[in-house]
């Protein structure tokens, strides 16, 4: 397929290659298409990082020190929250894994266990 887009070659870790290959197979896409889509997805962030780098380089040394201090303080506040979020995400994945391994049969359309059925109201409503 002819294209006007520039081409690049990349070297991947074996684990990364296998995961990307599996993702491509799951989505019935070529490895190149998957990698291209991943890069397209992160491109807006990369553009912002490059622009921030340009602006940072244009600052005086004093302003650079101030920016570094601001980012260091922000990172110190954000890092614990990100670690907690990561723990929660992994816990959710573990819960899914455990649920997939549950040997109990799944029944559809059956009534809930008796302990889950709310008691019937006694007496009349009139």
Domain boundaries, the chain: 11-58, 61-98
Cβ(23)–Cβ(15) below 8 Å: no
Stretches in the chain below the pLDDT threshold 50: none
pLDDT given at position 65: 95
DSSP 104: S
What pLDDT sits at residue 98?
81
- Distances, alpha carbon 41 to alpha carbons 8, 62, 82, in Å: 17, 35, 21
Q: What is the model's pLDDT at position 114?
A: 59
* DSSP tag of 113: P
pLDDT of residue 46: 97
Q: Which of 37, 33, 36, 31 is nearest to 18 (CA)?
A: 31
Query: What CA–CA distance (Å, rounded) separates 33 from 41?
Result: 12
The rounded Cα 119 to chain-centroid distance in angstroms is 43
pLDDT at 5: 87
Q: What local confidence, expressed as pLDDT, does residue 111 receive?
A: 61
pLDDT at position 85 is 95
pLDDT, residue 3, reads 81
pLDDT digits (tens, 9 = 90+) for 100-124: 776 666 666 666 665 655 666 655 5
The tokens 């029944």 sit on which residue? 107
Statement: the pTM of the whole predicted model exceeds 0.75:
no
């Amino acid at each position: 397929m002819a294209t006007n887009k520039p081409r690049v070659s990349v070297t991947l870790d074996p684990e990364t290659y296998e995961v990307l290959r599996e993702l491509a197979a799951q989505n019935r896409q070529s490895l190149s298409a998957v990698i291209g889509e991943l890069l397209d997805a992160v491109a807006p962030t990369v553009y912002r990082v490059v622009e921030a780098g340009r602006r940072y380089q244009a600052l005086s040394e004093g302003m650079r020190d101030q920016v570094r201090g601001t980012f260091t303080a922000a990172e110190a506040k954000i890092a614990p929250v990100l670690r907690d979020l990561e723990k929660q995400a992994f816990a959710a994945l573990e819960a899914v894994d455990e649920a997939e391994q549950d040997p109990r049969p799944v029944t559809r359309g059956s009534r809930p266990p008796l302990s889950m059925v709310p008691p019937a109201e006694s007496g009349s409503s009139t």
